[in-house]
């Protein structure tokens, strides 16, 4: 594969026009959309309008006149189109961690009511906040948290298993679970299924209802381009939505918030998963981000925008893997699964033979304008160079140029410079 091949792929790309939806800094190849998506062009004007007109002129009237009040549900319906959920089943609110606390609490409450199962199962390599939330809830409610490797999943789902909590695409490796098969396995064992879609929503096709999952949460600032700290989302299967109250019973999740009753009465359905007054500026920014992803639907003949996004994502990651192996032979080990069905929208590399330098190489690339990130390893997992590929704004020539910079960093031993070996607060 060569540069002309990559340019030809860009010329043939049916999604190429979607790149114009974003403000991309000159001289930057942004391969970190799996940590923070880029800025949509519509966001600055939308936020300025909310501030100057809806807030500045409309004042409190904008809860009604500008549609602030039902923004969590309206955005939730947009997210639902990306994750295989139905209208009225998703709300955008709070953070991923807080939403996980809500849905996992509900799952544990249901497990308690159903019998004596007292074990929550998750992967040892799951994102730490998920494990911290689970650890806290298990301690408070008399459950045990059992951490396993993926290969141990079938044996772990025994008669004590109450809840299986997994991240659909692993944040560190990019490995993706078969959602339908794993959910079926959990249900056959009598356990409830909780999915974290932080690295899935807007990146890979998700079909929560088709998989018959129980609960899911996800992030708004990665592939959904909602901005730093954007509101997250929560989904609850309709069979559970009216059965249990969530633990953060704030007034926004009340059946009639402006009734001002002294006693809590939960809203019907997923609306009860709201808590306090909603962050309108942040929700407005997320709305713009969601529209950038949904724009792919207009280019898809069947209205399923995730299908062409997934096709391009796999082609981008295939190209990156091929070029790294072709142009940097023997320097890296591929950590992300090679099989398409097992791969998210990122490629993760480790230094061959666990040689040092992963962090410094990433820093040297960032200095050249190729922005990826680094995740520290441990005794079981090597240090990771992590590159996210968002098909909305990444092209094939970007991939070629990113690998060209990587080659130059290695050949010139730029990564050995002291400034690239000083750890920063955010890696």
Q: What is the pLDDT of residues 401-416, one digit of tens each?
A: 999 999 999 999 999 9
Q: What is the pLDDT of residue 369?
A: 98
| Domain co-membership, 19 together with 55 | no
**pLDDT per position as a tens digit, 19-50:** 999 999 999 999 999 999 999 999 999 999 99
d(CA 344, CA 336): 8
Q: Which of 292, 316, 332 is the last residue of a domain?
A: 292
In a domain, 386, yes or no: yes
| Domain co-membership, 308 together with 261 | no
| Domain co-membership, 341 together with 410 | yes
Phi, psi of 272 (to 5 degrees): -70, -10
Which position among 94, 386, 393, 420 bears the catalytic label?
A: 386
**pLDDT per position as a tens digit, 224-271:** 999 999 999 999 999 998 887 889 999 999 999 999 999 999 999 999
In a domain, 38, yes or no: no
d(CA 149, CA 234): 26
d(CA 378, CA 271): 41
Residue 235 sits in a domain of what CATH number?
3.40.640.10
Which position among 13, 32, 77, 196 bears the catalytic label?
A: 196
386 is known as an active-site residue: yes
Tell me which H or E stretch contains 233. Answer: strand 233-236
Q: What is the pLDDT of residue 302?
A: 65
375 is known as an active-site residue: no
Which position among 105, 143, 215, 221 bears the catalytic label?
A: 221
272 is known as an active-site residue: no
Strand order of the sheet with strand 192-196?
Answer: 90-92, 233-236, 215-218, 192-196, 161-167, 119-123, 144-148
pLDDT at 300 > cutoff 80: no
Q: What is the pLDDT of residue 188?
A: 97
Q: What is the pLDDT of residue 301?
A: 65
Which position among 22, 101, 127, 396 bears the catalytic label?
A: 127
108 class by beta-carbon count within 10 Å (0-12 exposed, 13-18 middle, 19+ buried): buried
Task: With cut-offs at 50, 70 and 90, classify the pLDDT of residue 304.
Answer: confident
**pLDDT per position as a tens digit, 147-168:** 999 999 999 999 999 999 999 9
| Domain co-membership, 358 together with 245 | no
Task: With cut-offs at 50, 70 and 90, classify the pLDDT of residue 290.
Answer: very high
196 is known as an active-site residue: yes
Task: With cut-offs at 50, 70 and 90, classify the pLDDT of residue 305.
Answer: confident
Task: With cut-offs at 50, 70 and 90, classify the pLDDT of residue 379.
Answer: confident
d(CA 371, CA 363): 8
Q: Considering the chain, what percentage of its residues have pLDDT values greater than 70?
A: 99
Higher pLDDT, 127 or 380: 127
In a domain, 427, yes or no: no
Contacts of 124 (CB under 8 A, 6+ apart): 147, 148, 149, 380
In a domain, 360, yes or no: yes
| Residue 242 Cα distances to 46, 89, 259, 272, angstroms | 35, 11, 20, 9
Phi, psi of 175 (to 5 degrees): -75, 140
- β partners of residue 161: 119
In a domain, 42, yes or no: no
Q: Which of 232, 263, 292 is the last residue of a domain?
A: 292
| Domain co-membership, 82 together with 10 | no
| Domain co-membership, 235 together with 379 | no
Is pTM beyond 0.85? Reply is yes
Which position among 81, 222, 310, 375 bears the catalytic label?
A: 222
Question: 95: domain range?
Answer: 47-292
| Domain co-membership, 176 together with 60 | yes
| Domain co-membership, 251 together with 315 | no
387 is known as an active-site residue: no
Task: Report the domain count for the chain.
Answer: 2
| Domain co-membership, 285 together with 307 | no
């Amino acid at each position: 594969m060569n540069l002309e091949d990559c340019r030809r792929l860009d010329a043939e790309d049916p999604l190429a026009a979607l790149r114009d939806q974003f403000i991309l800094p000159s001289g930057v190849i942004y391969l970190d959309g799996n940590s923070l998506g880029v800025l949509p062009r519509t966001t600055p004007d939308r936020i300025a309008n909310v501030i100057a007109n809806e807030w500045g002129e409309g004042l409190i009237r904008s809860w009604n006149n500008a549609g602030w009040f039902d923004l969590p549900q309206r955005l939730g319906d947009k997210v639902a189109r990306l994750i295989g959920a139905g209208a009225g089943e998703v709300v955008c609110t709070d953070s991923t961690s807080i939403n996980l606390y809500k849905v996992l609490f509900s799952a544990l409450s249901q497990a308690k009511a159903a019998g004596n199962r007292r074990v929550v199962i998750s992967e040892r390599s799951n994102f730490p906040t998920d494990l911290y939330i689970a650890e806290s809830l298990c301690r408070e409610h008399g459950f045990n948290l059992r951490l396993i490797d993926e290969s141990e999943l079938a044996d772990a789902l025994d008669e004590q298993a109450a809840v299986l909590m997994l991240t659909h695409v692993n944040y560190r490796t990019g490995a993706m679970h078969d959602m339908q098969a794993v959910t079926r396995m959990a249900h056959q064992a009598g356990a409830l299924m909780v999915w974290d879609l932080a690295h899935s929503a807007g990146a890979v096709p998700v079909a929560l209802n088709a998989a018959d999952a129980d609960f899911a949460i996800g992030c708004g600032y990665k592939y959904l381009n909602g901005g730093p700290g954007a509101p997250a989302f929560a989904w609850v299967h309709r069979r559970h939505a009216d059965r249990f109250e969530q633990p953060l019973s704030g007034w926004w999740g009340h059946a009639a918030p402006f009734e001002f009753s002294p006693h809590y009465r939960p809203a019907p359905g997923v609306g009860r998963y709201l808590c306090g007054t909603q962050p309108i500026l942040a929700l407005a920014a997320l709305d713009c981000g969601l529209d950038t992803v949904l724009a792919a639907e207009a280019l898809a003949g069947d209205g399923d925008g995730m299908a062409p996004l997934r096709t391009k994502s796999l082609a981008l990651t295939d190209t990156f893997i091929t070029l790294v192996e072709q142009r940097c032979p023997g320097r890296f080990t591929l950590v992300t699964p090679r099989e398409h069905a097992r791969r998210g929208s990122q490629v993760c590399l480790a230094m061959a033979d666990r040689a040092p330098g992963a962090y410094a190489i990433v820093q040297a690339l960032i200095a050249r304008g190729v922005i990826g990130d680094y995740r520290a390893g441990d005794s079981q997992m090597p240090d990771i160079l992590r590159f996210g590929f968002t098909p909305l704004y990444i092209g094939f020539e970007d991939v070629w140029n990113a690998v060209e910079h990587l080659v130059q960093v290695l050949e010139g031993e730029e990564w050995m410079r002291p400034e690239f070996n000083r750890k920063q607060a955010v890696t």
